[in-house]
């Protein structure tokens, strides 16, 4: 499913993030940037050791911020590593931090001349963010960014599970 927002396209697909041919992939990283499970592990496996080398050089990333590396062996030229919030109860700044992940990732893309970006559903795996609420925040934040930044021509959300795709589909209808 896709929607046109001004000059840009916002789309959701079911699939594997690591196989996308966008200019950049966004990694749901952890603050150490030393790799991990879930989509983080999949990106490092598919992209090879170069990405981890660059991550170790950077040294880490605070929650809600983003850092850039090259894409190693991935089709994507760049990986934007962002650190989502661990969900407690929603009253510990989680919504603001999650929105910040999407915004800061896109800011890095704009600064680097990256035009097409693929995101996973940040924080909804090991970090436990409820999917429905996370989907709404993700899509709303990206939509607001694209309205101000036509230089980003495509944002694609790549959902690994059908249930995640369905939640994003519902959310996309209402943002
Ligand atoms: P977090 O620690 O931010 O919660 P996870 O990697 O544990 O990150 O999960 C984030 C989301 O990424 C989950 O919905 C998970 O199902 C999904 N995911 C895992 N592997 C992939 C992949 N290869 N492509 C896209 N999404 C993936």
84 lines ligand 1 (CB under 6 A): yes
Q: Is 33 within 8 Å of 67 (Cβ atoms)?
A: yes
What is the count of structural domains for the chain? 1
Query: Which CA distances in Å does 96 have to 21, 99, 175?
Result: 29, 5, 17
What is the number of the ligand 1 atom nearest to the C-alpha of 16? Answer: 24
- As a whole number of angstroms, the distance between CA 131 and CA 114 comes to 27
Query: What spacing in Å lies between the alpha carbon of 146 and ligand 1's midpoint?
Result: 23
pTM of the complete model: 0.98
16 lines ligand 1 (CB under 6 A): yes
Query: What spacing in Å lies between the alpha carbon of 91 and ligand 1's midpoint?
Result: 23
Q: What is the mean pLDDT of each run of 10 residues along the chain (175 residues)?
A: 95 98 98 97 98 98 98 98 98 98 98 98 98 98 97 98 98 93
Predicted pLDDT of residue 51: 98
CATH number at residue 21: 3.40.220.10
Predicted pLDDT of residue 100: 99
Q: Could you tell me the sign of the dihedral formed by the alpha carbons of 88, 135, 46, 116, in that order?
A: negative
Predicted pLDDT of residue 175: 86
Count the neighbouring beta carbons within 10 Å of the beta carbon of residue 7.
Answer: 11
Residues with active-site annotation: 40
120 lines ligand 1 (CB under 6 A): yes
Domain residues for the domain of 123 are 2-174
- As a whole number of angstroms, the distance between CA 175 and CA 160 comes to 21
Q: Is 131 within 8 Å of 170 (Cβ atoms)?
A: no
DSSP state of 126: T
Which residue owns the Cα nearest ligand 1 atom 10?
A: 125
Angle at 71 between CA 86 and CA 160, to 5 degrees: 50
38 lines ligand 1 (CB under 6 A): yes
- As a whole number of angstroms, the distance between CA 11 and CA 122 comes to 16
Give kind and range of the element (H or E) at residue 8. Answer: strand 8-14
Predicted pLDDT of residue 123: 98
Tokens of 166: 């369905």
């Amino acid at each position: 499913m896709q929607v046109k927002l001004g000059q840009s396209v916002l789309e959701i697909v079911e699939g594997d993030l690591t196989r996308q041919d966008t200019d950049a992939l966004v990694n749901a990283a952890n603050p150490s940037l030393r790799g991990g499970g879930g989509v983080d592990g999949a990106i490092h496996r598919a992209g090879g050791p170069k990405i981890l080398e660059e991550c170790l050089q950077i040294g880490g990333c605070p929650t809600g911020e983003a850092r850039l590396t090259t894409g190693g062996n991935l089709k994507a030229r760049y990986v934007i590593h962002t650190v989502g919030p661990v969900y407690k109860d929603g009253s510990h700044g989680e919504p603001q931090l999650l929105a910040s992940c999407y915004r800061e990732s896109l800011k890095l893309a704009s600064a680097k001349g990256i035009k097409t970006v693929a995101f996973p559903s940040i924080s909804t795996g090991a970090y436990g963010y409820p999917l429905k609420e996370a989907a709404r925040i993700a899509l709303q934040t990206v939509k607001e960014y694209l309205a101000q930044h036509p230089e980003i021509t495509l944002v694609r959300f790549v959902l690994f599970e059908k249930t995640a795709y369905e939640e994003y589909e519902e959310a996309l209808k209402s943002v």
